Structure 1
Amino acid sequence: MLAGYTHAAAFNYMKAFLLDYFKKDIREVVRDLLLVRGKWSSNISSQQLSDGFHQVMEAADKAVQFDDSLADDGERGAKLKKALGRVVERDKNSIRFIREGLKQVNTEAQVMINEAANGLITIAKHLKALLEDRKKTNPELLLNWKEIEAAGEEPIDQRMIAIYKRIHAFVQLMQMHVRS
């Protein structure tokens, strides 16, 4: 018996989250406001946030390419579809090819999910630290909060809190799907 795509639901949730939310709302706050406009007291914190951001951006790009390759007209999808036709004819090599292909696809999907989740966790940790720093009378991490606040459409605190909550909920969803 063939297992199929074991991470399809989690992968589809991840791809939708990254394309619909991350590449728009999170990118605007994290990259455009915090990383580009922000004046950081330490390069280490900004570099870690930047690394997490780019890790997730890379995962989003990989997810699109991966998904496209699995479409019926994609490279992998066409090969698997062709092999499925031969399974009906009881071709043992086709069954082995499909099993190996599915195993590889499932492994790659899980790696992408984990990479995206790790990058999002890094971003969330830094957002939380920035929110705590913002509450101080003399912020230590980011030195130009007023400039950043003026550059955004909505209050930056509210946007960062909303992003943090969404990332947290999304990571929990991914953990639930990857475990099952």
Structure 2
Amino acid sequence: MEGGTPTGALGRMKAAWERARQRWWVRWGVDLAVLVLIVAAVGAWQARRLPGGGAPAPGFTLRTLGGEPVQLEALRGKPVVLAFWAPWCGVCKVESSNLSQLRRLAGDSAHVVSVAVAYDDEEDVRRFVQEHDVDFPVLLGDDAVQRAFRVDTFPTVFFLSPEGRIERAVVGYTTLAGLGWRLML
């Protein structure tokens, strides 16, 4: 070290970094990368106890708001986006439009289905569906299906393979881009 400054390759790298940090787009890029890493780490931590990694999805038979029974097994053959939500959940209200848009964009190439849980009265679910223009199937879940999927935070969304395996899960608000990206993976 000469005069308190590092020499050699390390010194040149530090100087180059300092020059690069003076550019606004580098500063913003680094800040954005750090933010993305933090969001990804928080998301991974939130989903740490959820089933995933190719595990078979727990089977269920639930009924729709119209009373028709739906078996999870009947949805095989296409990828499935399975969203768990509660009618009192503020984040679920915001995310419901993203699920509607995903359903329209996915068309016949995937199933977008939701499971309402943690509600006191079926009327609460009906009101949520009406107030938020929900246009994707809503199944009436119970404590058993909530426990089987280990859902304790809302919204929680699972992405199932066409064979019925849980490929990934996400907890909390997810943008349309995030839902679409995870569906395509």
Q: Same fold (TM over 0.5)?
A: no
Higher RCO by CA contacts (8 Å cutoff, separation 6 or greater): 1
User: Greater helix percent: which structure?
Assistant: 1
What TM-score comes out, normalization by structure 2 length?
0.29
* Structure that is richer in strand per residue: 2
